[in-house]
Structure 1
Amino acid sequence: MPVTAAGRRFDQALAEMFPQYSRSRLTGWVKAGSVLLDGKKAPPRQLLHGGEKVELEAELEAEVVAAPEAMDLDIRFEDDDLLVLDKAPGLVVHPGAGNPAGTLLNALLHHCPKLAELPRGGIVHRLDKDTAGLMVVAKSIAAHTALVAMLSRHDVHRQYEAVVIGTMVSGGTVDQAIGRHQHDRLKQGVRDVEDGGKEAITHYRIRERFRAHSVLQCNLETGRTHQIRVHLAHMGHPLIGDPLYGNGLRLPRGADQALIDVLRGFRRQALHAERLAFEHPITGEALDFASPRPADQEALIEALRLDTAQHPDD
């Protein structure tokens, strides 16, 4: 330990000495006796005199238990520390009840088995099953620790395209805390911080307006579960096709059968993570990725655009 560590707690000084590891991982190693102070086991809160000898002998244990599965992945960037991929709609990110296999995590473990040593297999943020688009995955402990901190500081730029019900007038910001829905455990909802809600901020602007729908660009400051879906539904403009937060089909007056078929056939939330930008957590390189609009969302927007062109007076 450096002399300047005098008066500091053992776990605090360790976190500064080994920033590539999370505080919780280091604390676990200390409690297990894998980190010795002057050759002896010491509690995490042990106060230091400065100048002590530290011995770290620990192995990275498996953090996740899931079977590797060979699946096609659309990887946009990869090096020793991270990868960026474009997730297809319909792909579940983590195994769970009803989805024990066939998930993105299963595919990642086949692609890179060492991800089993990282929390949640290196997945530092998630997309809902039916949301398409870009995700970053950590491949090293150092990158994982740094990416989690960057997301917490809002240093990762995440941009989405959403197609919503209703003709919106202007862009703006939704600053409403989100927490577990009081009556439906599958849903999230707008809740006061005092009532268990967590800060959630979504910026949005209008890209295109149709007769009964709008295309929005949404940028996240925070990353709460279902954030965009909850915020837009709270405003009265749920995503087209959203099975949890939608309020049914909305047809423009006099819509033809072609548009009706497209709207009825769009059976997922119309949300696409189209842009992801951040500094590489290890090299500092500026990384910026864009994902093309999925074919089904492109067809949806084209149908709405055509309907609006056919009814210029509405």
Structure 2
Amino acid sequence: MLQTQTQPNITIIYEDDHLLIIDKPAGVLSQEDHTGDADVLSLCKQYLSRSANNTPYLGLVHRLDRPVSGLMLLAKNRSAADSLSQQIRDRTLQKTYWTITSGSPPQNGVLTHHLSKDRDTNIVEVVQAGQRKAKEAILSFAKLEQNDELNLLSVHLQTGRPHQIRVQLAHEGYPIWGDYKYGKDQPDGRKMALRAVELVFNHPKTNQEIRFELAPPSQHPWTQFAIAHK
């Protein structure tokens, strides 16, 4: 499979003249920040620049939190970026995640909260509706499988708020395995069990609906669930 040949290396799921879809590694930033650590946007620009005569355009259509892995969509021109951003605003671009949680979630549910982000601490919390800077966050989930005290959930986002899945599930008592910020786990080096596994959207040039799916990694705790490794 094609890779960026960067450090760290990133697997390319799909590429054409308009789109670049990657499998973002856990622990890599989506976009450059104050840390100076490696980020997806810079690494993918580095990859594209090898076959370009000038600095390539690359638009960040959406972000994944640093600990989150999986499908990430980038635009290779402004027209594609505008089209995909509009689909996100219209909520026609569909993103599905798989995650492993503790607690006792029901078989399915819809969660609606209002979230507020503290930019100084980079922590998001659930607040009352109407509070200054509070933004509505909606997701739905279905429990695919249960194994001992862990649950494999499929999560579909209706809104795209920072840390949304992590905060909403933790608030309901279903913290994500390995989420040191919002869960109960103590830091021990494990990778957070949250992965973007499906993207559905209309191609910005052809307007045809396309779908990309990605399997979970073959590592603990994903290997505890039969459905994740059919």
TM-score using structure 1 length: 0.64
- Report the residue type matching 1:272 in the other structure: R
Q: Does 1:268 align with 2:187?
A: no
Q: Tell me the percent identity.
A: 29
Shift of the 205–142 alpha-carbon distance from structure 1 to 2, 3 Å rule, reads: same
- Which residue identity is paired with 2:202? E
Please give the root-mean-square deviation of Cα atoms over the aligned residues, in Å. 2.5
Q: Is the 8 A contact 1:132 1:294 kept in 2?
A: no
Q: CA deviation at 1:174?
A: 0.5
In structure 2, the partner of 1:76 is 13
CA-CA distance at 1:70 after TM superposition: 3.3
1:244 to 172, 176, 181: 181
The structure-2 alpha-carbon separation of the partners of 1:146 and 1:154, relative to structure 1 and needing over 3 Å to count, comes to same
- Which position in structure 2 is the counterpart of 1:192? 128
User: The residue matched to 1:150 in structure 2 has which SS?
Assistant: helix
Kept after mapping to 2: 8 A contact 1:243/1:268: no
Q: Could you tell me how far 1:304 is from its partner in structure 2?
A: 7.2
1:235 to 155, 172, 194: 172
Structure 1: runs of 5 or more not aligned: 1-68, 250-263, 306-314
Query: What residue number does 1:104 align with?
Result: 40
Q: Determine if contact 2:45/2:56 at 8 Å carries over to the other structure.
A: no
State the Cα distance separating 1:116 from its structure 2 match. 5.8
CA distance in 1, matches of 2:214, 2:14: 12
Are 2:203 and 1:280 aligned?
Answer: yes
Unaligned runs of at least 5 residues, structure 2: none
| 1:266-298 Cα deviation digits (max 9, x unpaired) | 6232101011111101211221111111123xx
Q: Given that residues 167 and 211 in structure 1 are in contact (C-alpha distance below 8 angstroms), is that contact kept between their aligned partners in structure 2?
A: no
Give the superposition deviation at 1:265. 5.7
Structure 1 96/169 Cα, relative in aligned 2: closer, same or farther at 3 Å? same
- 1:218 equivalent to 2:141? Answer no
Contact 1:167 1:210 survives alignment (8 Å): no
Structure 1 residue 211, shift from structure 2 partner: 2.5
Residue 117 of structure 1, CA deviation: 6.7
Give the match for residue 302 of structure 1: 223
Deviation at 1:181, TM superposition (A): 4.4
Structure 1 residue 128 corresponds to structure 2 residue 72: no
Q: Which amino acid aligns with 1:93?
A: S
Q: Which has the higher contact order (CA 8 A, sep 6+)?
A: 2
Instruction: Please tell me whether the aligned partners of residues 173 and 201 of structure 1 are also in contact (alpha carbons under 8 angstroms).
Output: yes
- Which of 139, 160, 176 in structure 1 is aligned with 2:113? 176
Paired with 1:116 and 1:101, the residues of 2 have a C-alpha distance of 21
Whole-Å separation in 1 of the counterparts to 2:81 and 2:167: 28
The size of the alignment, in residue pairs, is 218
**Amino acid in structure 1 at the alignment position of 2:191:** R
CA radius of gyration, larger in = 1
Deviation at 1:300, TM superposition (A): 0.9
